[in-house]
Amino acid sequence: MPEGLDFVEVPMSDSIESRLKEDRRFPPSAEFCRHARIQSHAAYTSLHQLSLEDPETFWREHTTDLVFRTPWKKISEWNLPKAKFFVGATLNVSESCLDRHLQTGEATRAAIVWEGEPGDTRTLTYLELHREVVRLTAALADLGVKQGDRVAIYMGMVPETAVAMLACARLGATHSVIFGGFSSDALRERINDCGAKVLLTQDGAWRRGSVVPLKKMADEALAKTPSIEKVLVLRRIGHDRCPVTMKEGRDLWWEDALERKPSDASMKLAKHPEAFDAEHPLFILYTSGSTGKPKGVMHTTAGYLAGVHVSTKYVFDLRAGDVYWCTADVGWVTGHSYLVYGPLSCGATVMLYEGAPNFPDWSRFWQLVEKHGVTILYTAPTAIRAFIRAGDEWPAKHDLSSLRLLGSVGEPINPEAWTWYHRVIGGGRCPIVDTWWQTETGSIMLTTLPGACYSKPGSTGLPFFGVDIAVVKDRGEECKANEGGKLVIRQPWPSMARTLWNDDQRYLDTYWNVIPNVYFTGDGARRDEDGYFWVVGRIDDVLNVAGHRIGTAEIESALVSHPAVAEAAAVGRPDDLKGQALVVFVTLKQGHEAKDLKSKLVEHIDKEIGKFARPDAVRFTDSLPKTRSGKIMRRLLKEIAAGNEAKGDTSTLEDLSVLAKLRTDEE
């Protein structure tokens, strides 16, 4: 049995039921269609057909804006599951994102418009961004970073994080951004897994008016990361609010590293970067899987860039003059693909905001939209639901008429949230692109193309170009219209993950050895009679809590590492705000009592993983329901967590009294 597939039923929540009843259609306005890149359903269909039947032509025609130093000889080569794209090409991703715009007269266009949580702002033009990237590239080269080395980035939402990623790309070093919400233990585990040589971090980051002490947390991790030789520290907060300790010989202030005169060789390399093979590893991004160990999803150069470039251009209908805001954190894949590589490769003006949506109050996002004239907003359903709860008076205070397109990502959007987003934020005139994709897919796989297709609230629409996706049964037979099944991708696509870092076997077992000859997404879905996809959610042991992917096994192994815990099981329960909430069931070792332990276990998870993975409920029990073969019966626990009577077959329960006890237990 491949990891994590010992249960496959999908949680039913009210919002899912309302999605099943949903049959409204929202066509794009005539005004939007007139200017859209793709203006009809027929145009979408024929391009999609071309992308699958003649990928060579499709990708040649659609990557003309990207800079290849050596042209590719063949679009792809696959020997499933190993795939190569743009075979024979060489390129440097940072040239497509930066240098080319300087040559096309867009040097003075704003590349990044940044707003800090306290309200400080900075704008970097393409010329300035290029200059910053060149300086950091030279500094990194002088620190000994070379092509193929790994560089860890543990930073917040500041322009330097994008600079750091692009400088690594320019040097050919593989970056691994670790979300700033991760704890020092989680950071250490990821640094050690990828063997990073250098860590880029900052003194601290603003979050809801307080400081997250990133360098201090990094220091704890660095006590046990033998591969790290140097640490660059950006000063974001300053000594008074966030004092840091710098370790002699290892730690360097970012500005000092940049101000030292680089060697001629490094400066030359930074200004005229090398070109790398199309399959050179661009980055590793850790994500949750079905075991306790996070997966280092590895993306390569040309295919990834092509995937994010083309999807940004068409899905967001991006053009000169747009102010594009993706609210995702750069530590997740959405931040990589649709804050940095996609939009910069299109020459867009990207808005970057450091802080929380509700700081100092719930009008913050809308104030930013008005202030910066945001035209495209890409956010997550969990944020939308939180805004709904906060009340319509917050967006009503601001002029949102600059918006022309809205996007949603990260989890299924319920029709209620969709229609609110459409009406209150989009003023009824902005198309909504609900985009389905994953860390592993690199770029958007399912969406309605604005201007070309109508939307159905709650549906993630149709396959993007180059994507052959289907809903199938266990052995791979395609499901009938509206029949639920597993979401799979039947042909490799350019931006797909090439492997899991240092773990080819896990890559095969998780994605390719589940259903014969296809990539298994881990999601359940159905496709309706119009070909629209409705993604229901994960059907493996991965939860989606407020758009964050959390592996139940990660939570469980964190819990059992606490001295008082004997066994633990983590499950999801439907939640109106977060989509899913995390409920853990815990049995204690002899001699320990539940009293006072709840907050200790929550703190323990903060320390092992990070605050974002805090359980919503901790339930203590004498034993967990198990099958006779000793497997924890998660299906039952989910029913109990959701407050439902346990349904289904319980005849294999080791001890039925366990179930009865769990049902009546207080939280």
* Residues found near ligand 6R9 in the complex (CB under 6 A): 287, 332-334, 409-412, 434-439, 460, 521-523, 535, 537-538, 544, 549
Residue 581, beta-bridge partner list: 573
Residue 657, beta-bridge partner list: none
Q: What is the DSSP letter of 612?
A: G
Residue 198, beta-bridge partner list: 151, 230
Q: Between the CA atoms of 526, 8, 504 and 52, what dihedral angle is there, to the nearest 10 degrees?
A: -10
* Annotated binding-site positions for CoA: 207-210, 334, 358
3-state SS string over 573-622? EEECCCEEEEEEEEEECCCCCCCCHHHHHHHHHHHHCEHHHCCCEEEECC
DSSP strands (E only) in 65-120: 74-79, 82-87, 90-91, 110-115
β pairing state of 565-575 and 579-588:
antiparallel
Among residues 526 and 604, whose Cβ is nearest to ligand 6R9? 526
3-class DSSP state of 408: strand
What is d(CA 163, CA 488) in angstroms, rounded to the nearest whole number?
Answer: 35
* Nearest approach, Cβ of residue 438 and ligand 6R9 (Å): 4
Strand order in the sheet with 150-154: 251-253, 230-234, 198-202, 150-154, 174-177, 281-287, 295-300, 499-500
Q: Are 155 and 200 in contact (CB under 8 A)?
A: yes
Among residues 365 and 418, whose Cβ is nearest to ligand 6R9? 418
Amino acid at 540: D
Among residues 96 and 438, whose Cβ is nearest to ligand 6R9? 438
| Residues in contact with 329: Cβ distance below 8 Å, sequence separation at least 6, in sequence order | 157, 179, 180, 181, 335
Q: Are 2 and 510 in contact (CB under 8 A)?
A: yes
Q: Are 342 and 312 in contact (CB under 8 A)?
A: yes
3-class DSSP state of 349: strand
Among residues 174 and 438, whose Cβ is nearest to ligand 6R9? 438
Q: Are 295 and 500 in contact (CB under 8 A)?
A: yes
Among residues 202 and 345, whose Cβ is nearest to ligand 6R9? 345
- Nearest CA-CA partner of 376 in 341, 397, 351, 344: 351
Strand order in the sheet with 533-538: 469-472, 485-489, 519-527, 533-538
Q: Are 136 and 271 in contact (CB under 8 A)?
A: no
